[in-house]
Amino acid sequence: MPRQGRKDDVLAAAIALFSRKGYHGTTVRDIADEAGMLSGSLYAHYSSKEEMLFDIVQQAAGQFISGIGPMLESDQPAADKLRAAMRSHLRVMALSRDAAAIYLHEWKALTGDRRTIIAEKRNAYEEGLAAIIRQGVEAGEFRPVDAKFARLLVLSALNWLYQWYDPAGALGPDAVADKFADLVLHGLTNGEEGASS
Amino acid sequence: MPRQGRKDDVLAAAIALFSRKGYHGTTVRDIADEAGMLSGSLYAHYSSKEEMLFDIVQQAAGQFISGIGPMLESDQPAADKLRAAMRSHLRVMALSRDAAAIYLHEWKALTGDRRTIIAEKRNAYEEGLAAIIRQGVEAGEFRPVDAKFARLLVLSALNWLYQWYDPAGALGPDAVADKFADLVLHGLTNGEEGASS
């Protein structure tokens, strides 16, 4: 089996175990067992468990960030850009559900430079979503909402997905994103009581 | 030291460890060490690690459910009830942050009857929030939104709180709940493009 293939096996095993048992609840031995190799062979690919975590989280961060790049440079209405960003986010989560859960919940186990690098990527992504919302406010398309809270509302709804989303269910990621986008853009009320902010 | 005090010590130690290392990443020995007692003494209070998890999750579920009880029976406008329910949820999360995180993320480690009991409590709570939203739709106060997705939007935003909320920050739980309630009720748009659902 080619060397690259074995490294992918290690990563797939680490993703499955970190997602199921948590980073701290998983040992290198567990990962070697899951990948069907000896711990010694595993160290040919990764020098530490943390290096595996970094690889997983960095790949996920790259998927999220590259997904919203086109929206940041587009001159579409902010509502359309936000909807497209939400679709992109859910596609990454639906396609790489376990890796996305690790990106969301286990990244804080990283230390030193690795943690700094990922924190910067996470901030850049969150800032990109907030920028779309601020553009909408500045263009008068959105109400003068707090972009930080609006971004938190959007991201938290999307990130919660892994708790309940059934990839085999009736709704694909785009349909789910559209449902949430409609709620976030238009709210619950009929508008009869007027916006309070 | 009174027996009840020691049991509380065990529970506090379990909450701290399950929240920090995850349920599967924590051993009974870890909990005994954290509580400053021998494993044998710990078994005088709890027969298993799972029994501790059940106690933590059941207490948290009780706090969430009792918080929205008054809103379900009230005849206020649905928007006011939803806002009050969101405040109640965030108060529980702010006051019992670690226990709430365990309720959200570790409850699936429960098995058998314990898991069934907690699943029913979680469903009852989620159903209560959905009922408030459906009441708003039926009264014509809310748009004809999908109550399940609206409930998911609300709960996911609130549940994500533990990832970023700083109890020492400028905004208390009620202020944060109001920010989210305003966004959920009124949405981002100025309403110029019209509601799309």
Neighbours of A178 (CB within 10 A): 18
Tokens of A42: 């595993």
Q: Give the per-residue pLDDT at B165.
A: 74
Q: Give the per-residue pLDDT at B172.
A: 86
Q: Which residue of A has its CA nearest to B104?
A: A163
CA distance A65 to chain B (A): 20
CA distance A143 to chain B (A): 5
**Three-state DSSP state, B188:** coil
Q: Which residues of chain A does B146 touch, with a Cβ-Cβ cutoff of 8 Å?
A: 179
Q: Give the per-residue pLDDT at A166.
A: 75
| B193 pLDDT higher than 60 | no
ipTM of this complex > 0.85? no
Considering only the beta carbons, identify the residue of A25, A133, A149 that sits closest to B24. Answer: A25
What tens-digit pLDDT sequence spans chain A (197 residues)? 444 458 999 999 999 999 988 898 899 999 999 999 988 889 999 999 999 999 999 999 999 999 999 988 899 999 999 999 999 999 998 888 899 999 988 999 999 999 999 999 999 999 999 999 999 999 999 999 999 999 999 998 888 877 777 777 788 889 989 999 999 999 998 765 444 44
Residue A137 is given by DSSP the state: H
What domains sit in chain A, N to C, each tagged with a CATH number?
1-47 (1.10.10.60), 48-186 (1.10.357.10)
CA distance B2 to chain A (A): 33
Q: Give the per-residue pLDDT at A4.
A: 45
Q: Which residues are bridge partners to B134 per DSSP?
A: none
Burial label for A120, CB within 10 Å (0-12, 13-18, 19+), is exposed
Q: Give the per-residue pLDDT at B2.
A: 41
Q: Looking at per-residue confidence, does A195 or B148 come out higher?
A: B148
The answer to whether residues B22 and A22 touch, using CB atoms and an 8 Å cutoff, is yes
> What is the value of pTM for the model shown?
0.83
